[in-house]
Amino acid sequence: MTRLPVRRLFADPPLGGRPPSQVKVAPDGSRVAFLRPAHDDRERLDLWCWDRASGRLEERVNAAAWKDGVPTAAERAERERRRQFAGGVTAYSWHPDGHRVLLAVGGQAVLHDLRSGAMSPVTPPETRQTGITLSRTGRYVSAVRAGDLHLHDLQTGAGHRVTTDGGGTVTNGLPEFVAQEEMHRFEGHWWSPDDRWLAYARVDTVPVAESRRPEIAADRIEAVTQRYPYAGGANAEVRLALVPVGEDGVPGDSEWVPWDADGHAYLARVAFAPGGSLLLQLQTRDQTVLAATRYEPGEGRLVPLFEESADTWVNLHDNLVFTGDGDAFLWTSERGGSADLYRFDGELVHMPTGLDRVARIVGLHDGEAVVTGWRGDPTAQHVYRVGLDGRTARPAEALTEGDGWHDAFMGRRSGLCVVTRTDPATPVRIDALDLAGSERSRDPVLDGGVDGDHPYRRFLDHHAPPRFGSIAAADGQRLHYRLTPPLGATAGERHPVIVHVYGGPGVQRVRREWGPLPLQLFAQRGFGVFELDNRGGAGRAKRFEDAIHGHLGDPEVRDQVAGTEFLRGLDWVDADRIGVFGHSYGGYMALLCLARAPEVFAAGVSVAPVTDWRLYDTHYTERYLGDPAAHPERYLRSSVFPHLDGLSGPLLLMHGMADDNVLFTHTTKLLSALQERGAPFELMTYPGARHGLQERDVAVHRYRTILDFFARRLT
């Protein structure tokens, strides 16, 4: 039996078994593709493809042959916002013909023919671009280079520059910072279904006040000028243009879409309907209203469709799926308390599914919608089919079963549904489900079980399995937890426990899946690990999320304390040795747990914490706390500083010194406040590291330091 070493966790081959990402089905359903970390380099993604006819899965593009080079600032920003920390093939798209894929690799757009194996560069050599997009008919490739949008005609080989004013504070065809980081909109330009129109966003950051922050690398210190949209401040100016594209592939003059009228502050989503109209989702600054609108090219005005509204905030999502007949589409709404299925065809009509929550609309096939969601247990997600009869729906029927977390992906025209599954004993499994067949046959695509030559198999005897359960919050809502006891715990022996917390909105940690392997480092060294999804988190009814509105850090901490009350009732837990550890919002939570419940938490590790919400961005922060000028009391009580007098336990702070998301200023301000109070603490900073702290050597050092801290403070 071999205990998991820290360095091996972050070495090659990846112990997670090279989990797939960006699973996509060919338009005709003949193939399934996805990206996987390379066997010899976890920081490189290669393209793999499964052929439906032969049943073979094989590597199709080994990105080691392509020089990744030095990414541009735009590329680095996009990867950071996507939390994509690997190079190689960073994105790809299926060509409509089903036998070619467009790759983004090394900052280049490359067309790969799966039949011949040919690799044909599309964009000019010695250049780098981002936002690489294949048009809907497959004739054009569009991309952003040096702030301007370009298109490349695959039919004629010609290239055309769509915009000419990019550079400096202006970018064309890319989303602004808050759109990527907080709205999770990573598109900045869109093709119409017939390729006759190209819509793009023009972003100018001039309205955003300049601030200067130090970016400290190992060998230099730079004063970086950053236009960071602090809460209450101005956002970037975002305009939306429509450009006609002629039969000859030459773009025409821009037509500007007046989307920001009527008090709309955010361009949240953009999509072309099958008929060619442009559907926009627009948000007010306070995010209590989301307006769905339509724009017809040449008309010069928006046509309102419907609005979503809430007393707290309206969640954004990507569940707009056109049914193929005009502008009708399926949609999910939380107006009934929890996300469920709706249809819009002139008016919004509820189509109840019988599920507790619909998470995602996967696709449509033969009068049925395929969705993911849950019924009864929010920790187990399944795939369902929902029969559609006009404006009504039949109750959802499960296509998956068992104790696991499932997701699904479909092509545009085929009846092939690809289902991914993970459970506490299996990192990943992928199956192809034929929805068109009478018996709904399943074909195995990838079996990622820990057997055979799986790199984690030699450590499996030391793997600590988790337990799942729930407790009640103060208001009676159920709080679900995942508890990983220390390996080899025996009756009568007391052990320390680390509460591993995120706690922030938009995230659900407790899922019946193969758990994060870093947690095994703690369990195999004598620590229990406890994770609790407190109120404010995602994946539940809106009421569960709304508890944090107007006061961040209050119900979340109370729920985590309730979790420790449960822990203290277990016969193997030492109630005097409970620690807390978190990153980002979790770092903020770790500080508040130590400060507001010092009698409960004996020590804590806070990584890249938010400490003052006035130093965080507009879209995220104002969603929960409003305008700081109108609600200064909310910002004060939600920051860590009013609570620091209660912080007495041992504290380890960590932060990347080039973090452009949760700025290093959060930690420097905290350092000063702790020093003023004479409060002892430990500090570890990482030169050149950004918010994710994912660099291999940084990750190894970080976890060794955390393990050493808890070993000294809790054992």
Give the SS3 label for residue 246: coil
Beta bridge partners of 373: 358, 382
Sign of CA dihedral 209, 212, 213, 217: positive
> By the 8 A CB rule, do 272 and 240 touch?
no
> By the 8 A CB rule, do 626 and 284 touch?
no
Q: Which residue do the tokens 């939306």 mark?
A: 240
**Cβ within 8 Å of residue 95, ≥6 positions away:** 101, 102, 111, 134, 138
pTM score: 0.95
Q: What is the pLDDT of residue 212?
A: 84
CA distances 703 to 589, 694, 715, Å, are 19, 11, 17
Nearest one of 383, 437, 428, 443 to 409, comparing CA atoms: 383
**Cβ within 8 Å of residue 692, ≥6 positions away:** 80, 83, 85, 656
**Cβ within 8 Å of residue 5, ≥6 positions away:** none
Q: What would the DSSP string read from start to end of 674-698?
A: HHHTT---EEEEETT--TT--SHHH
> What count of residues does the chain have?
715
Helices (H), 183-296: none
- Is the preceding omega at residue 13 within 30 degrees of 0, hence cis? yes
Amino acid at 435: L
pLDDT digits 0-9 by tens, 179-221: 999 999 999 999 999 999 999 999 999 999 998 887 888 888 8
> By the 8 A CB rule, do 140 and 111 touch?
no
Output the furthest CA–CA distance in the chain (Å, rounded): 79
> By the 8 A CB rule, do 598 and 158 touch?
no
Same fold, 156-316 and 323-446: no
Q: What is the pLDDT of residue 214?
A: 78
pLDDT digits 0-9 by tens, 48-75: 999 999 999 999 999 998 877 788 888 8
Q: Which residue do the tokens 């104790």 mark?
A: 403
Beta bridge partners of 340: 333
The CATH number of domain 323-446 is 2.120.10.30 = yes
Q: What is the pLDDT of residue 2?
A: 63
> By the 8 A CB rule, do 427 and 450 touch?
yes
Give the tokens for residue 259: 């989307």
> By the 8 A CB rule, do 386 and 435 touch?
no
Give the SS3 label for residue 15: coil
Domain residue spans of the chain: 17-134, 156-316, 323-446, 464-714
Into which CATH architecture does domain 17-134 fall?
Answer: 6 Propeller (2.120)
Angle at 387 between CA 382 and CA 393, to 5 degrees: 100
Q: What does the alpha-carbon distance between residue 93 and residue 460 come to, in Å, rounded to a whole number? A: 36
> Which 8-state DSSP code applies to residue 395?
P
Annotated catalytic sites, by residue? 584, 659, 691
Nearest one of 522, 508, 534 to 593, comparing CA atoms: 534
Q: What is the pLDDT of residue 1?
A: 46
Q: What does the alpha-carbon distance between residue 466 and residue 500 come to, in Å, rounded to a whole number? A: 13
Nearest one of 85, 82, 83, 90 to 63, comparing CA atoms: 90
Beta bridge partners of 34: 48
Three-state SS string over 414-438 comes to: CCEEEEEEEECCEEEEEEEEECCCC
CA distances 237 to 209, 285, 355, 541, 626, Å, are 12, 13, 40, 34, 20
Give the tokens for residue 459: 């450590």
Q: Just give the CATH number of 464-714.
A: 3.40.50.1820
Beta bridge partners of 140: 153
Q: What does the alpha-carbon distance between residue 456 and residue 453 come to, in Å, rounded to a whole number? A: 8
> By the 8 A CB rule, do 223 and 214 touch?
yes
pLDDT digits 0-9 by tens, 312-327: 999 999 999 999 878 8
Residues of the chain with pLDDT under 50: 1
Q: What is the pLDDT of residue 438?
A: 63
Into which CATH architecture does domain 156-316 fall?
Answer: 8 Propeller (2.140)
Q: What does the alpha-carbon distance between residue 173 and residue 665 come to, in Å, rounded to a whole number? A: 31
Amino acid at 370: V
